Amino acid sequence: MPFNNYDVCVIGGGASGLMAAAAAAESGLKTALIEKNTSMGRKLLVTGGGRCNVTNILEPQEFLRRCRPYDRFLRHSIYSFPPRALMEFLTQRGVETKVLESNCVFLSGERAYELLEALLEENRRSGTSMVYGRRVEAVEKSDEHFSLICGKDTYTCRKLIIAAGGASWPQTGSTGDGYALAASLGHRIAEPRACLVPLEVKENWVSRLAGVSLPAVSISCRQTKKHPVTGGLVFTDTGIGGPAVLNFSREILPLLEQSPVEAFIDLMPDLNIEELGERFAASITANPKSNFYSLMREYVPRSLGNVIADLAGINPRTQAAVLPKAQRRRTVSLLKSLELTITGTRPLKIATVTRGGAANDQIDPKTMESKLCPGLYLCGEVIDIDGPCGGFNLQIAFSTGRLAGMSAAL
């Protein structure tokens, strides 16, 4: 079937595949973008709760530092197509962006589908053949070309880009197929694990707090004490979630593989322990007749105040003025360092990204070409790379996708 014969085929119409296909087709190559869903970019549409945190305005050096331990691998792709270049790319295509708190860049209209529409239009304009509802089941390589088996259809190409994503949120299409396809061409696959994901804890008392959210805490463990993660936290039935926890999950994944991790939540990160001690003493002086329970409401939500009373061995009805010194100290210490034992992560299917995938040491970071299989390129989450929350992962998908598409066209 000659019409199924292409210069470049891209497997997967997500963020990285849409960008890769557009870059390849723009160079004049006959390019097909093959997506198993009946529409492209399903995951793109759920990013940032549909508002799409498209990138992070940090300069490349700091951007890369935040993406450790993948900074060396990502260096070339991020410098080649940094956050500001992505924003310009979008502006030129009529998609305005705005920088919010923490350097996160969102779409001005807060509608992820505007970004998807711009990427689809870019592909239409560049002449990409967009193939919907075709799952690539297997790939075969002969000397001259790749053959992609999609049920009854076979597509052939000289250059192949695997952009099939990770294995989180499988309902969007990323079910881990990319791993099997890359492995069939010789690639080693680092075990896929949940990353940027809520955490499970040992302490049963968290279930009493399910749904309670704290807008600004900082979390650390012994190994990350010098660099605590700050942000919002929400208690769940079995543990903790929220932006700070998702980023913390990324930091502690290697530790969790060894054993449970003792984490410390600083509920009052803006005050050091002396300042908090003074403030607590001042609260007692100002409200000597208040009970402990009312006193705590100045600091934490009611239900958390009760948990702190239990942990400190305090009857919450105790009058502030008669609180023994040791219990005052214990209260301040709990507010500054509430201890939790992290036993694991929630499942991969609900994680924001997948840690693991096609081993990055088998891919040339300057081109995204496989070091094992000439003519094969990989980009996006299918590779063992990830970044923190805040627009990093989409930028990684776009930068690696564009580099793969441009390199395939050389």
Ligand X SMILES: Cc1cc2nc3c(=O)[nH]c(=O)nc-3n(C[C@H](O)[C@H](O)[C@H](O)COP(=O)(O)OP(=O)(O)OC[C@H]3O[C@@H](n4cnc5c(N)ncnc54)[C@H](O)[C@@H]3O)c2cc1C
Q: Report the site for ligand X in 241-280 (rule: CB under 6 A).
A: none
107 lies in the site for ligand X, by CB under 6 A:
no
Nearer to ligand X, 169 or 292 (CB): 169
Among 8, 11, 182, 332, indicate the residue that binds ligand X (CB under 6 A). 11
Interface residue with ligand X, options 306, 345, 393, 399 (CB under 6 A):
393
* 168 near ligand X, rule: CB under 6 A: yes
Return the number of the residue (39 or 213) whose C-beta is nearest ligand X: 39
Check binding of 160 to ligand X (CB under 6 A): no
Q: Which of 70, 89, 146, 169 binds ligand X (CB under 6 A)?
A: 169
CB 407 within 8 A of CB 368: yes
Cβ proximity to ligand X: between 15 and 284 the closer is 15
Gap between the Cα atoms of 399 and 225, Å rounded: 32
Q: Does 77 bind ligand X (CB under 6 A)?
A: no
Binding mask 178-217 for ligand X (x = CB under 6 A): x---------------------------------------
Give the contacts of 169 (CB within 8 A, at least 6 positions apart): 43, 46, 349, 350, 351
Which residue number, 39 or 285, has a Cβ lying nearer to ligand X? 39
Stretches 36-44, 67-75, 185-193, 300-308: which one binds ligand X (CB under 6 A)?
36-44
Minimum distance from residue 23 beta carbon to ligand X (Å) = 13
Pick out residues in 132-151 that bind ligand X (CB under 6 A).
135-136
Task: Tell me the window of 161-169, 239-247, 297-305, 325-333 that interacts with ligand X (CB under 6 A).
Answer: 161-169
In the bound state with ligand X, the residue whose beta carbon lies nearer, of 37 and 367, is 37
**How many amino acids of this chain bind ligand X (CB under 6 A)?**
39
What is the pattern of x (binds ligand X, CB under 6 A) and - over residues 51-70? -xx-----------------
Q: Is 17 a residue that touches ligand X (CB under 6 A)?
A: yes
- 61-69, 187-195, 271-279, 385-393 -> range binding ligand X (CB under 6 A): 385-393
Min. distance of Cβ 273 from ligand X in angstroms? 35
Q: Which residues bind ligand X (CB under 6 A)?
A: 11-17, 34-37, 42-44, 46-48, 52-53, 135-136, 163-165, 168-169, 173-174, 177-178, 352-353, 380-381, 391-394, 397
